[in-house]
Structure 1
């Protein structure tokens, strides 16, 4: 089940942060769909849970969808956020 956490998160952040932040959060799920199409090896680096959720969230973009998606405002910021999100899932990494 897709709980649309990206939309709920962006909605909560919207009164507290500028669009540069809230839109990157809103777009971070489609960013995963984009990155699995556009970046060779990205899929291989995803956790099994992230691979499962990707399928629920619509799967990998087609080449055409990816080309259109990355042109929208805040898409590059969302792709960066997605990479940071992925790095935050590393097992055994201590966090402050």
Structure 2
């Protein structure tokens, strides 16, 4: 991973990166890639699938409850629509 690649990722993300941030992010991304390489070397062919330890009957019942609050702020509007910021 090069600094130019990190700079390009910053440009794609619309983030301005300082030289210190470029150095730090370059080393962090190299560590992440090294970790992913380690995960790729794990042999999963012989691994047993994990089975659920709880029975479905032991789980809480799935019940619906009415939500009393006005989450979107449409309760007092005549038209019932959500008003967002003006796009210019």
Q: Does the alignment reach a TM-score above 0.5?
A: no
* TM-score for both structures, normalised by structure 1: 0.28
| Bigger Rg over Cα | 2
Task: Output the TM-score relative to the length of structure 2.
Answer: 0.30
**Per residue, is there more helix in 1 or in 2?**
1
